Amino acid sequence: MTSRRSFLTKSAIASVFAATSSFGAPLETAVERAPLSSAPSDLKITDIKCGYIRNGHSLFVKIHTNQGIWGCGEAVDATPGTYHLVKMMAQRIKGKSPLNVNRLFEDIRKSGFFEGAQAGMYIAVLSAVEAGLWDLVGKALGLPVYQLLGGKYRDRIRVYCDTGTYRDTDKSNDHFAKSATEAVQMGFNAVKYDIDEWNDPNKYDRYNWTASPGELERMYNQIASVRKAVGPKVDICVDMHGRYDMTTGKRVAKMMEPLNLMFLEEPIPAENVEAYKLISESTSTPICAGENHYLAYGFRRMLEIGAVDIIMPDLQKAGGLGEGQRIANLANLYYVPFAPHMVASYLGAMASSHVCASVPNFMILEWQIYFHEDPMFKEIVTFDGPMVKDGFIPLSEKPGIGVEINEEGMKKYAPKDVPFFV
């Protein structure tokens, strides 16, 4: 795009002013500093290409334009087998200006009304496309995404570290305590643990998710060891992955009260928010949910009835960044904190961070230990500066999201027989 300075230099008006440098130079400088009030109207979307990692459970899109500017977005979980869905959405917005992000979002959503555009894969893919549009617009206008969302309340985003003990065969109390101590030594002031174990030997029936006395004892002792290891000032989050019934949810929440959790996440499945309300009313342990809810519509009922204490939409599948901000603002009307779920790459983490910076009721964002342990997560993206520092993500000031897809780095992790950025 032609800059103001080159425009003045090349124009006839500029040549007149240049004849008298004492007059022309100040005007040229003033025009250079003037804010851009009109959009680059000839910017058009030409294509959306995509690639996958993690057996298709992580989708990355790249939105291309006629000016060589692109935008990157990411979606998770509800994405396997969605290549043709991405291409269908691309056809619906080709030739249009990417600057109208909210309008394009509505165009795609409403055009899919009978194709599943209420939740699931359709909305997850739309989340990646929507985030890519924000990234593209930020690059076109030279602004970070948080600025496009109305500005920022904070410069850094607090995160809790999911310690990843769910992957370990060692489920001992000592192992939980050790991993918590290591996370605190890395600078984190909040940690998270999963306590649902399908293969717990104390379980009587894999299909009936009522926890036995032995399971309850194991859950409490694991988290009690974490609290003892980190002391009273480090926050502890506990996740049950929606795998239990209401009776167990009540018992675990009550049992954990002396350990002063930051929150207990999804003790029961997502669908019945009235059951969540019964758990929340039975305990002083804050109850958190929302990872498996979609769009602001999906959070309306739970907020109206006070079903949970904290909401945790996943911005890489709930509808994207603008929709994430709408969800947060809706929650703010009920004085409910916003603590997004995040199991994406650093692209998704930074995209989420822009939303977290833009809302007043942000509480904390999820962070994964795999960023430190798995080299893939540094190979598939490019970025400046440290990923995280002292338990906070430094908010990017670069145009757009501030993190780029590295297609070459991603290629070796792509699933076989799935189209890769074509």
Reported as a single tens digit per residue, the pLDDT across 235-289 is 999 999 999 999 999 999 999 999 999 999 999 999 999 999 999 999 999 999 9
Please tell me the total count of domains within the chain. 3
Same domain, 126 and 246: no
Same domain, 126 and 165: no
Domain membership of residue 402 (yes or no) is: no
Query: Among the listed ranges 14-23, 117-126, 160-169, 191-200, which one has the minimum average pLDDT value?
Result: 14-23
Domain membership of residue 406 (yes or no) is: no
* Confidence bin at 11 (pLDDT 50/70/90): very low
Same domain, 213 and 328: yes
Same domain, 176 and 137: no
CA atoms within 13 Å, Cβ hemisphere of 169: 0
pTM above 0.85, yes or no: yes
Same domain, 71 and 179: no
Q: Which of 95, 117, 143 is the last residue of a domain?
A: 143
Domain membership of residue 407 (yes or no) is: no
Same domain, 87 and 200: no
Q: How far is residue 157 CA from its own chain's centroid?
A: 12
Q: Please give the structure tokens belonging to residue 320.
A: 């994207």
Helix (H) or strand (E) holding 367: strand 365-368
Same domain, 61 and 18: no
Residue-range definition of the domain harbouring residue 50? 45-143
Same domain, 55 and 158: no
State the pLDDT at residue 346.
Answer: 98
The predicted-structure confidence for 383-411, as pLDDT tens digits, reads as follows 999 999 999 999 999 999 999 999 999 99
* Confidence bin at 167 (pLDDT 50/70/90): confident
Same domain, 235 and 356: yes
Domain membership of residue 404 (yes or no) is: no
Same domain, 252 and 347: yes
Three-class SS of 146-195: HHHCCCCCCCEEEEEEECCHHHCCCCCHHHHHHHHHHHHHCCCCEEEEEC
Same domain, 387 and 269: yes
Same domain, 250 and 372: yes
CA angle in degrees (0–180, nearest 5) for 399-404-407: 155
